[in-house]
């Protein structure tokens, strides 16, 4: 029975590579898009590396909130790196092909890191909930072991969440056409290329996406409902402002990320409009990871202070190095 299935599967799967359509246009426009995405990618990598180094080196940032922030930066770097380098290659070289294994691997990595980010954003909301609603017990509840366990859970959950969908998609027969109307190997356009009816597969993928996205989103919303109730009970306006400011950056990131992801993967009415989906996908896969470091740096006084210390230290070390060179010369 298994041998018969394998034989039929191999006979039907005659496509050996896919063509990623990306953003077809004149060569001049494609080169302009290349530089635009390159700048955004470099800003994403630079900003998130700075966040990680700052959190790692500054002793005042050795708290659960910044531990989670460092992991979010690491996820964002991997998340955007799963799609943008290939897109840059397409725009620069005009070579749109990608192998079947490469396409499936890109798709899995994208959804693995995206799912892990959903879990981590929910954990970060829970961290703010404990900090504001139970400030006296915060250090006990969110101790180092608990934080490490939660982060490992986020990465593991992200790794396991897309497995079922990945296995289902990999086992679909592809016999042409092989043009993916997207800038990466997203699952909805891949399903459109299968040689068989994928309505059941689409429902499975939709339910799995909804389970991960909506469960983590609702968890985040519930945390912020309790946070808001607690903040409103604070008598002074200064105290309310200070408490809310600790959540503002995370709330901004959550709004940007979930607003586009829910529209993309949990709204069935928009799934067939792939040209619109490409624009939306740019927002959550390229723009949001680029903005996250800026949001956390510009809206967070601790981060700004730590960054100033690092810049000052670099300047001092640079002057000392210059003086030592002059001395020996």
Concatenate the DSSP letters of all residues of 4-33 into one string.
HHHHHHHHH----EEEE--S---HHHHHHH
pLDDT, tens only, 41-88: 999 999 899 889 888 888 778 889 889 999 999 999 999 999 999 999
* Residues 234, 133 contacting (CB under 8 angstroms): no
Q: Mean pLDDT throughout 281-303? A: 82
CA dihedral over 147, 151, 152, 154, signed as positive or negative: positive
In angstroms and rounded to an integer, the radius of gyration of the C-alpha atoms of the chain is: 23
Specify burial of residue 204 (Cβ count, 10 A radius: 0-12, 13-18, 19+). middle
pLDDT, tens only, 226-279: 988 888 888 887 777 777 777 777 888 888 889 888 888 887 654 445 677 788
Query: Taking the model in full, what pTM does it have?
Result: 0.86
How many whole angstroms separate alpha carbon 251 and alpha carbon 65? 13
Q: Given this model, what pLDDT does residue 140 score?
A: 92
Q: The CATH number of 16-299 is which of 3.50.30.30, 3.40.50.740, 1.20.1070.10, 3.90.470.10?
A: 1.20.1070.10
Q: Given this model, what pLDDT does residue 318 score?
A: 57
* Residues 286, 37 contacting (CB under 8 angstroms): yes
pLDDT, tens only, 183-225: 999 888 888 888 888 888 888 888 988 999 999 999 999 999 9
pLDDT, tens only, 7-21: 454 455 577 889 998
Q: Given this model, what pLDDT does residue 2 score?
A: 41
The fraction of the chain above a pLDDT of 90, given in percent, is: 38
Average pLDDT of the chain, as a whole number = 84
Predicted confidence (pLDDT) at residue 144 exceeds the cutoff of 50: yes
Instruction: Find where tokens 């040209």 sit.
Output: 275
Domain boundaries, the chain: 16-299
Give Cα 134 to chain centroid, integer Å: 29
Helix residue ranges, H only, the chain = 2-12, 27-57, 64-81, 84-93, 100-133, 138-141, 144-160, 163-170, 187-191, 199-232, 237-265, 274-282, 288-298, 301-328
């Amino acid at each position: 029975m298994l041998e018969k299935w394998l034989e039929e599967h191999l006979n039907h799967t005659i496509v050996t590579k896919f063509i990623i359509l990306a953003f077809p246009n004149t060569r001049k426009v494609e080169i302009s898009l290349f530089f635009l995405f390159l700048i955004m990618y470099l800003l994403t990598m630079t900003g998130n590396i700075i966040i990680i180094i700052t959190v790692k080196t500054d002793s005042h940032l050795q708290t659960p909130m910044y531990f989670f922030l460092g992991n979010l930066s690491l996820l964002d770097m991997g998340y955007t790196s799963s799609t943008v380098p290939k897109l840059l290659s397409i725009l620069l070289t005009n070579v749109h092909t990608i192998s079947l294994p490469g396409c499936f691997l890109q798709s899995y990595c994208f959804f693995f890191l995206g799912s892990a980010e959903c879990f981590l954003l929910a954990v970060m909301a829970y961290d703010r909930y404990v900090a504001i609603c139970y400030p006296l017990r915060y250090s006990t509840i969110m101790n180092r072991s608990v934080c490490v366990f939660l982060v490992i859970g986020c990465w593991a959950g992200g790794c396991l969440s897309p497995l079922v969908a990945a296995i289902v998609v990999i086992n679909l027969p592809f016999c042409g056409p092989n043009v993916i109307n997207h800038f990466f190997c997203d699952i909805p356009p891949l399903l459109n290329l299968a040689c068989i009816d994928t309505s059941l597969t689409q429902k499975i993928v939709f339910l799995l996406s909804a389970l991960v996205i909506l469960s983590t989103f609702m968890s985040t919303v519930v945390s912020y409902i309790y946070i808001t109730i607690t903040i409103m009970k604070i008598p002074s306006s200064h105290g309310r402002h200070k408490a809310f400011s600790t959540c503002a950056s995370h709330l901004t990131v959550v709004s940007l990320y979930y607003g586009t992801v829910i529209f993309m993967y949990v709204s069935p009415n928009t799934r067939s409009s792939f040209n619109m989906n490409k624009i939306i996908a740019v927002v959550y896969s390229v723009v949001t990871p680029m903005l996250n470091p800026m949001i956390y740096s510009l809206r967070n006084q601790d981060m700004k202070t730590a960054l100033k210390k690092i810049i000052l230290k670099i300047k001092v070390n640079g002057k000392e190095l210059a003086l030592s060179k002059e001395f020996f010369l």
